[in-house]
Structure 1
């Protein structure tokens, strides 16, 4: 009887170990793909937008994959640079003060929608339209996305999958 318990315990431990190792490996691959392209985006942002200090880089995948580089110029002004993954598309750079803030984007969404829990606010782009993507749970606890124009603060569209 003790031998059977030992065998079952060993098998369960082995399955758990394989599961943990597999999860870690898949997670590493996924995170590597997410950050793939960040270095090239930083270089393009430095060349085309005169960024001297990079604060952060985010990946946005909409109709096209974009990298949003946030940094500072020589005058210590915050600059946002939308760098498309495709080198054929143009890089767009804006000073932060040229658009609305993330808080203003959230306020614009709250005027039109019931936001029960805010999840994330990040910069996005569709074509030449620069946006804030506001992710939240609505009154029915459904994930929802609203896209707010970076320049005007107008809510462009709302999505609840």
Structure 2
């Protein structure tokens, strides 16, 4: 009876161990790649927007890669700084209160009847247009991305793959 048990449990343990190992080997480089460039972007944001405190750094990859840094400047204002990965583009920074909030951006889609279930929201940028990227399930239960203008709250574009 013990041998039979061993033949069942041992392969399961080996399979689980292999799964954890393989997941780690794939996950670690993927996460490292996402955060790659944050330190340089933070340095550029600190210099351009006179940041004294960094609260958060995110990566947005759309048509182009951007880093969005949230922090406080030397006037103690909360600001967002969009740092492009492309050195030919300019760094843009805005006080947080100069645009709409994450909640207001989601409400634009909910109030318009587009969004049924919001999945995620993050800051984005397309050229010099500052945006909120909102992932959601639409009324037809399709995964959809909408881009809401950070400055005026208007829907910039919607993509339903």
Q: Which residue of 1 aligns with 2:125?
A: 125
Counterpart position of 1:15: 15
SS at match of 2:57: strand
Residue matched to 1:34: 34
1:64 and 2:64 aligned: yes
Partner of 1:89: 89
Q: 1:99 matched to which residue of 2?
A: 99
Deviation at 1:110, TM superposition (A): 2.0
Q: Deviations over 1:12-62 (max 9, x none)?
A: 321221111111221111111111111111000001111110110111000
What is the alpha-carbon distance in structure 1 between the residues aligned to residue 72 and residue 108 of structure 2? 27
Asked if structure 1 preserves the Cα contact closer than 8 Å seen for 2:136 and 2:144, the reply is yes
Distance in 1 (CA, whole Å) between partners of 2:51 and 2:35 is 20
Alpha-carbon distance between aligned partners in 1 of 2:72 and 2:9, rounded to the nearest angstrom: 56
Could you say which residue in structure 1 is the equivalent of 2:110?
A: 110
Cα separation, 2, equivalents of 1:112 and 1:148: 12
Query: Offset at 1:88?
Result: 2.1
Q: State yes or no: 1:152 paired with 2:140.
A: no
Taking structure 2 as the reference length, the TM-score comes to 0.92
User: More displaced, 119-128 or 10-19?
Assistant: 10-19
Unmatched 5+ residue regions in structure 1? none
What displacement does 1:4 show? Answer: 5.2
Written as runs of structure 1 = structure 2, the 5 A alignment for 1:73-88 is 73-88=73-88
Aligned to 1:141: 141
- In structure 2, the residue corresponding to 1:116 is in which secondary structure? strand
In 2: Cα distance, 1:157 partner to 1:17 partner: 45
Structure 2 unaligned segments of length 5 or more: list them: none
User: TM-score when scaled to structure 1?
Assistant: 0.92
Alignment RMSD: 1.6
Identify the residue that residue 52 of structure 2 maps to in structure 1: 52
Residue aligned with 1:63, SS: coil
